[in-house]
Amino acid sequence: MKQFDVVIAGGAMAGMTLALALDSLSQGKVSIAIVEPFQVDHQSHPGFDSRSIALSYGTVQILSKLNLWQDIAPIATAIKHIHVSDRLHAGMTDIDHKDLSTDALGYVVELADVGRVYHQKIAQSESISLFCPDSVSQIERTQTHNVITLNSGQQLHGKLLVAADGAVSSCCDLLGIELKQHDFEQVAVIANIRTQQAHQGRAFERFTEQGPVALLPMSDDRMSLVWCLRPESAQQVLELDDQAFLSQLQEVFGWRLGQLTQVGSRASYPLLLRYREHNTSHRFAIVGNAAQTLHPIAGQGFNLGIRDVASLAEEIAGSLEDVGAYSVLSAFKQRRQDDRINTIAMTSSLVHLFSNDYLSMRIGRNLGLALMDNIPALKTPLLQRTLGLVAR
């Protein structure tokens, strides 16, 4: 049986970031195992696939402190300006990096690129062992440690087990940690888009009666599209040919980037809020999408997960004599409580406010957007959460 301080189930963004954060903060003193079912090649790995994610300003600060950002920066595209609008109505607001005296409001990275960077860093670490392809099939907990049996038959002995294995976490299921779920009755259609005009670091979020449409700036002057639609509409646009798809998107998004000229392969996934009220148990912690999976509106989910990861890594690094002790997990749970509750509530409220066409809602949100654009005091609280500048 192989002995480790920390065993991490899940080797996508949350799990890999946690392993590298622990390695950095403990200066290699924590022995870590990562158990991951999928090889890194992006054709098959659901955590490091062709999707893009937006890293908030706060997340970049965290990654910098963990000595991870310098390797990600060359493959990241800066968001210099965010334009938020409501389709067919007057309300809109603009946020520019110069107004906040920052280099960028955030950055967009492709998961497949980050996967390659992370795997190179993991390979260079003597403290991190990768069990891949493999997965957790059984967990036995004692007072002082966990015995984790893998599908391969290998057994790992760890003082702390961390679930970073996605929204439908098998580790949480094995331990009976309850999952709560709310269906937003929307589907996200994702694709990469080319436009007539260069994006110049501009990101767009446009609210429609069916849900938000987001276009994020990427490398090579591409845009990353997340288009939230009712399930029947999503199915219809997925079946369109490229030209018809671009035409329908143009009608919804408008002409701020000129003509939409090209679309890559399309994918979709249903939008659900999934969360576990308790993010710790005996010698067990939950981070990332395993703890909470949010609607993509305002791009909060991944950034919330990174705050989970950084907080857990700091608590562990401050208590190396027993990394799975009750005191470590209790401090982690306490630290994360307010941020988790507030971010989940804000995200869900925004979906409700901006995904319907009731007259009262329409007037309220357009008035809100107009006021935010003109009264900085109203813009600041939402802006701080959007930028990830929140206490953790």
Q: Can you give the pLDDT at residue 378?
A: 44
Cβ atoms 10, 36 nearer than 8 A: yes
DSSP 295-356: -SGGG-HHHHHHHHHHHHHHHHHT-TT-TT-HHHHHHHHHHHHHHHHHHHHHHHHHHHHHS-
Q: Which pLDDT belongs to residue 310?
A: 97
Range of the domain at 27: 2-54+112-180+273-349
3-state class of 378 per DSSP?
helix
For residue 383, tell me if it sits in a domain.
Answer: no
**What CATH code is carried by the domain that includes residue 142?**
3.50.50.60
Establish if 342 belongs to a structural domain: yes
Backbone φ and ψ for 157, nearest 5 degrees, come out as -110, 120
Residues of the chain short of pLDDT 70, as ranges, are: 40-50, 87-92, 352-386, 388-390
Q: Is residue 330 domain-resident?
A: yes
Number of domains in the chain: 1
pLDDT, position 49 = 52
Considering the entire predicted model, what is its pTM? 0.90
Give the pLDDT confidence score for residue 284 in this predicted structure. 98
Residues 158 and 30: beta-carbon distance below 8 Å:
no
* Residue-level pLDDT at 292: 96
**Bridge partners (DSSP) listed for residue 207:** 86, 212
Whether residue 64 lies inside any domain: the answer is: no
Residue 284, domain member (yes or no): yes
Quick one: pLDDT at residue 42?
Answer: 46
